Structure 1
Amino acid sequence: MNGIRTTKKGLKICSGITALFHVSLLVALIVLCLTVLRPKEPKITAQNIILKEVKWQKTPKFSVNISMEITITVHNPNQGSFKYMNSPAYVSYGGKVVAKSLILEDEIPSRGKQNLSTTVEIDGDGLRPVARFSGDLLRGCFNFTSSATFVGKVSFLKLFRIKATGFSSCGVSVLLRTHRASSSGCISEVNF
């Protein structure tokens, strides 16, 4: 009879220690997820904007066509890598999309940097309907907005995969007289 009480008492102690261990492990995982593994916004900076070509056409109707290569650097501060699919990139002028390009699928490593490049062809016929076109042409400066949406998965420790969508938008100024382009900065956000 005394042996049965000892066995029950031992089971209660063992069950209590096991439950305490599981609660401690759960608390540690929650703290880890809320601190170290908490997703952080990537830092996106425009690196090189190379104006490849500016074509002027005076007859039969005036037009200007612009070809440029845009390179941005994405710094991923997270513990997980981000693998994204082929993603569209757009260039807008006065709120109207005037060029579209494709950024090929790739992976940005955890706590790493990746350069993303694309070439865009801006057709002058798309610029002319914008109200400020004539004034910008006289000043010799066009201000564009380049934007891209990246859809993919974030991978933590090669065990957990979470769907994520990243968005970036950069301002781009093109100076026609000097054939130069520059960036006025980028903003980015990620939704999980």
Structure 2
Amino acid sequence: MDHEKNQQVYPLAPPSVHPRSDAESAWSESEQELRRKKRMKLFMYIAAFVVFQTIVILIFALTVMRVKTPNVKIQTVTVQNLNRDSSAYNMTLIAEVRIKNKNFGDYKYDSAPMNVTYGGAIVGTGSIPKGKAKAKKTRRVNVTMEVSSNGVSDASSGISSGILWFNSQATLTGKVHLMKVMKKRKTVRMNCTMAVNLTSGAIQELSC
């Protein structure tokens, strides 16, 4: 017992505490700032990518996916087998019809009648055959029309002037096919005016 009493009790030493140096504190703050800057750059890259994708989609929608109405007009007309007297005429008109497709998809259209009128009366008719105008291409087809003054009450007045003014009309109905998944119906109307010289048998004016 005496031996135990003689033992001294020493208090536990407090844990050693190393004060944080200014260099360590500055390094920690620098690391946090670096991480913050990296996060900011990442957010900026993501935002830039989203903006870029939005612009690409918008351009795609306004160009590739935008459906435009094709254009149909008579490019040239050739007059054949012209016969006339003081009160009647007949001739063959061969028209080169141009179907211009401004879309990024094919325009498939049905056959359509093409009429020639004089003073509102139909004096000739032909047919534009069923076909397809490829994307961003122009299709040309020849349409033959037999024209006659039969049934025209005032044919003699036009014959005496030496110039016959005709109108030609046609309506094409079809669909524009985009990306093989989208189809958009488009109807195209053509209205052209032409002047036939009865002396030379040539087209003097052609306007569509």
- Whether TM exceeds 0.5 here: the answer is yes
Q: TM-score, normalised by structure 1?
A: 0.72
**Aligned partner letter, 1:113:** T
State whether residues 66 and 124 of structure 1, in contact with CA within 8 Å, keep that contact through their aligned partners in structure 2: no
Cα offset for 1:178?
0.4
Q: Which consecutive unaligned segments of at least 5 residues does structure 1 have?
A: 1-20, 187-192
* 1:73-88 matched pairs, under 5 angstroms: 73-88=98-113
State whether residues 148 and 169 of structure 1, in contact with CA within 8 Å, keep that contact through their aligned partners in structure 2: yes
Q: Are 1:52 and 2:77 matched, yes or no?
A: no
State whether residues 166 and 195 of structure 2, in contact with CA within 8 Å, keep that contact through their aligned partners in structure 1: yes
Deviations 1:4-58 (A, max 9, x none): xxxxxxxxxxxxxxxxx8xx98986565333433223434443321101112357
Corresponding residue of 2:68: 40
Corresponding residue of 1:155: 177
Cα offset for 1:99?
1.6
Aligned length: 161
State whether residues 90 and 148 of structure 1, in contact with CA within 8 Å, keep that contact through their aligned partners in structure 2: yes
Structure with the largest fraction of strand: 1
CA–CA distance in structure 2, aligned partners of residues 182 and 141 of structure 1: 9
Paired residue for 2:197, among 170, 175, 191?
175
CA–CA distance in structure 1, aligned partners of residues 165 and 138 of structure 2: 27
Deviations 1:117-136 (A, max 9, x none): 1111112113x324xx3332
Paired residue for 1:119, among 144, 163, 184?
144
Deviations 1:68-114 (A, max 9, x none): 10112222111111111111111111122222211110100010011
State whether residues 88 and 156 of structure 2, in contact with CA within 8 Å, keep that contact through their aligned partners in structure 1: no
CA–CA distance in structure 1, aligned partners of residues 168 and 194 of structure 2: 7
Change (3 A) 1:57 1:182: closer
Q: TM-score, normalised by structure 2?
A: 0.67
Q: Are 1:129 and 2:153 matched, yes or no?
A: yes
